[in-house]
Amino acid sequence: MRALIRSGLVAALLCGVAAAQEFQAPHVVLSTVDWGAAAKSVKDGGATPDKVFEALNQAVETRFPGIGKSSVPVLLPMDVAAYRKDLDAGAADAKTSTKYFGDFTPSKFFLPGPAGYDVTFWIDPKNGGFKFRWPKPIEIELTGAAYIYDLPDPNHKEVFPPPKELADKFPGMQRVLSENHVRYAFERFGVPYVVDIQCYDRPPSRKYLSCREADPVAVRFLNQLQTTGGTPQTIAEPKSDLSRPETQSGDFTFYPPGDLIPDSGWKKMPGRQDYTVYARFRFPIANAPAYVKSQSFNPWGDCYRSGHTGRIGRKDASYACKVNDRPLVFNEGAAVNWTYPWRDNFCELRDFLVGQCPGGYGHQGEDIRPAYCVMEDAEADRCLPYRHSVAAVHDGLIWRTPGNLAAYIVWNTANEHVRVRYLHMNPKMMDADGVVSGRIVKEGEIIGKVADWGDFENGTSYHLHFNIQVFTRIGWVWVNPYITLVASYEHLIGARGREIEPGDPPPQIPNKLPIILHPEPVSESSASAEKPTPPPKPVHHHKRHPRHHHRHKRHSD
């Protein structure tokens, strides 16, 4: 096993005796890189590691800019010797041809840095000679890490031995099915690497990529990996910023992490009590106030397949979810949706795999409401979209294919190796604004508008869904962003929130009314005089209640 330096031991000991409401730093494990062995894996690598990688970076930099920033040896499915030979010979297509990557094509996403590197490649299964039912190109993720996040159990996963050809080539490799990805986790040169592909553990279909189909793609990818770059350096222990404003907020209150709306978890299980601040970033909604709120188990929510009593579909009708009988009203503008306190919904009832939820299933992230609801008229039951801005939470690199529903921002620093996901913005607007793979964004930069895009416009409620993933021994996994969002929000408003402790009475909900664009009804006589044929009502005013199923399709680049 690799030599590992366990970080945050003091913090871990303190956490064991700390009060529950104290924020905690993530535990990480540092990699001890054997740069000598890495240099020997390079053809003509007889010189010192510094010299070997300096020459290697200089050559490969033309195809993978910044490769020398990686603090670990970069493995890529690339015929480096053939590429360097063509480059030295002045071949015209050396800097553009994909012939050096076999059946794989580099994407526009490559992020090297102090925490290691992240990269994705594409393969067209038809051109690769595979016999798949899945008809679309497949994206393969690869990460090599200077440090991993050491998460506590539970971490629901299935582990299987890899094919023998890989087991012999990569001693200690694990094949893991987790959170709808097949992952090949292995160690080389003292560094953890993970190759993974999003797939479903189901029979092959044209509607999704099965893990049975993803496996041979991963095997071919792994067999082509070669050492291609990186720079020998000392990996420093990451530092976490847990500072909080000294001023107490007059109104910001929040329930503890893991305290879901009663019985709204998977099989009525509770959430996960996680006080970890996984990263220091700005809040994703551009302006305060904003509210972390359940969409499915609050007014106008559809109870997410758990059944309900009463009427859904008529403005202000009373109903309740069968899981808890909590009184609800069919009106998205209800005050409880747009006021404090916040409430965790990371492990709320969904059928998405989430290793860090007690039941192994959950919501994967947090739903966030912006400051207020705007309605078309007094008869509307839902909020109009595009009234509030969404900001980049950190300097980083966008990961998203045009047309996709999800947008990731990924960053790679000495202190954090994190990626966050935004959902329910309008994909057409994101395309027009260039929110696509390869774009560099700065913290606070506006990247979109809060919307109601599920699988289509009006397909969900007016909110932003926000996730965090960190890199672990088995690759990128979902973690609860709740306390990280609390910390970021406190810095946005410049004041510390108050946690609602067990036994505290629930805060009173103020009567916060929505903004009505057309509050006055138009008389029939004046309307007919101006327009003999009334126009149809705006699309956002419809009474049909969408399914809040949040299918959360992954991006494709």
463 has a pLDDT exceeding 80: yes
With cut-offs at 50, 70 and 90, classify the pLDDT of residue 125.
Answer: confident
| CA–CA separation, 510 and 512 (whole Å) | 6
3-state secondary structure (DSSP) of residue 256: coil
CB 148 within 8 A of CB 7: no
Averaged pLDDT score across all residues of the chain: 90
| CA–CA separation, 373 and 335 (whole Å) | 9
| CA–CA separation, 213 and 130 (whole Å) | 8
Q: Where are the alpha helices (DSSP H) in 67-151?
A: 80-88
44 has a pLDDT exceeding 50: yes
φ/ψ of residue 153, rounded to 5: -70, 160
The residue-averaged pLDDT of 142-170 equals 91
With cut-offs at 50, 70 and 90, classify the pLDDT of residue 403.
Answer: very high
The residue-averaged pLDDT of 34-55 equals 91
Give the pLDDT confidence of 314-355 residue by residue, as tens digits.
Answer: 999 999 999 998 999 999 999 999 999 999 999 999 999 999
CB 367 within 8 A of CB 360: no
Structure confidence at residue 171 (pLDDT) = 92
The residue-averaged pLDDT of 500-509 equals 89
19 has a pLDDT exceeding 90: no
- Among the ranges given (45-49, 263-267, 334-338, 542-546), the one the predictor scored with the smallest mean pLDDT: 542-546
7 has a pLDDT exceeding 90: no
538 has a pLDDT exceeding 50: no
Structure confidence at residue 82 (pLDDT) = 96
- Among the ranges given (108-117, 141-150, 162-171, 418-427), the one the predictor scored with the smallest mean pLDDT: 162-171
Considering the entire predicted model, what is its pTM? 0.90
The residue-averaged pLDDT of 543-552 equals 40
Structure confidence at residue 46 (pLDDT) = 72
| CA–CA separation, 71 and 65 (whole Å) | 15
Task: Provide the pairing of β-strand 417-423 with 181-188.
Answer: unpaired
Which helix (H) or strand (E) segment holds residue 177: the answer is: strand 174-178
Q: Which of 347, 369, 370, 368 is nearest to 359 (CA)?
A: 347
Burial 227-260 (b: 16+ CB within 10 A, else e): bbbbbbeebeebebeeebeeeebeebbbbbbbbb
- Among the ranges given (211-215, 399-403, 529-533), the one the predictor scored with the smallest mean pLDDT: 529-533
| CA–CA separation, 83 and 100 (whole Å) | 6
With cut-offs at 50, 70 and 90, classify the pLDDT of residue 522.
Answer: low
Q: Do you find a cis peptide bond into 154, omega within 30 degrees of 0?
A: yes
Give the pLDDT confidence of 180-225 residue by residue, as tens digits.
Answer: 999 999 999 999 999 999 999 999 999 999 999 999 999 999 999 9
With cut-offs at 50, 70 and 90, classify the pLDDT of residue 544.
Answer: very low
11 has a pLDDT exceeding 60: no
With cut-offs at 50, 70 and 90, classify the pLDDT of residue 530.
Answer: very low
**Residue count (the chain):** 557
Give the pLDDT confidence of 227-265 residue by residue, as tens digits.
Answer: 999 999 999 999 999 999 999 999 999 999 999 999 999
| CA–CA separation, 317 and 310 (whole Å) | 8
| Residue ranges of the chain assigned to CATH 2.70.70.10 | 248-499
CB 284 within 8 A of CB 368: yes
The residue-averaged pLDDT of 101-105 equals 96
Tokens of 433: 């604004």
The DSSP bridge partners found for residue 248 are 496
Pick the CATH number of 248-499 from 2.70.70.10, 3.80.10.10, 1.10.3860.10, 2.60.40.10: 2.70.70.10
With cut-offs at 50, 70 and 90, classify the pLDDT of residue 63.
Answer: very high
| CA–CA separation, 227 and 53 (whole Å) | 10
526 has a pLDDT exceeding 60: no
| CA–CA separation, 363 and 398 (whole Å) | 23
Structure confidence at residue 108 (pLDDT) = 96
540 has a pLDDT exceeding 60: no
Give the pLDDT confidence of 205-214 residue by residue, as tens digits.
Answer: 999 999 999 9
Say what percent of the chain tops pLDDT 70. 90
